[in-house]
Amino acid sequence: MTFELIHLPYASDALGSVISQKTVAFHHGKHLATYVSNLNNLITGTEFENADLETIVKKSEGGIFNNAGQILNHNLYFLQFSPVAVVDKPAGKLAQMIDVQFGSFANFQKEFEMAGTSLFGSGWVWLSAGIDGTLKITKEVNAGNPLRNGDKPLLCFDVWEHAYYLDYQNRRADHIKGLWAIIDWNVVEGRL
């Protein structure tokens, strides 16, 4: 199977109030494109040559995992955004689950932001659904993804410096706070 760079469902300058066109161009067009190219080269002639991305993330190690994980993570990341906020917070089942698990959406945001700002080094902060139906906020270093623990990823914030440094420099917390404005909660809820 040959993997391809995902097509963004919005223009590269559409997230400009939160993520600039320059950051999207580097992050999507350079970083993610490199992971795609690397993975295609690495899986040739291996047991993963015809596997789907989720299988590779669940079962691989080393360079294959790192590149597959980054592709999956970035695909989920970029596809959860909308330049026009459909709604400013989740509704329906996800909203109910957040209220039960975290007490309120505001409490969830606070915990999620804390996880993102307290992750040392590079990685991801995730909201995922466990096998038992509970929601979890987790921090994953490098290319980590909740799939590796049997959980279903719903929402992710990239806290690698390349995701925010051009726009926010060392202000990771400001970047994380800004992302709420461009989340398409219909996409996130659809992942349940």
Question: What is the model's pLDDT at position 107?
Answer: 98
Question: What is the model's pLDDT at position 71?
Answer: 98
Say which residues have a Cβ less than 8 Å from residue 67's Cβ, sequence separation at least 6: 35, 36, 38, 39, 42, 143
Within the chain, all domains assigned CATH 3.55.40.20 are found at 92-190
Within the chain, all domains assigned CATH 1.10.287.990 are found at 21-79
Question: What is the model's pLDDT at position 85?
Answer: 67
Look up the CATH number of domain 92-190.
3.55.40.20
Question: What is the model's pLDDT at position 84?
Answer: 79
Look up the CATH number of domain 21-79.
1.10.287.990
In this prediction, the residues of the chain whose per-residue pLDDT falls under 50 are none
Main-chain phi, psi angles of 129, to 5 degrees: -105, 125
Question: What is the model's pLDDT at position 17?
Answer: 85
Whole-prediction pTM value? Answer: 0.96
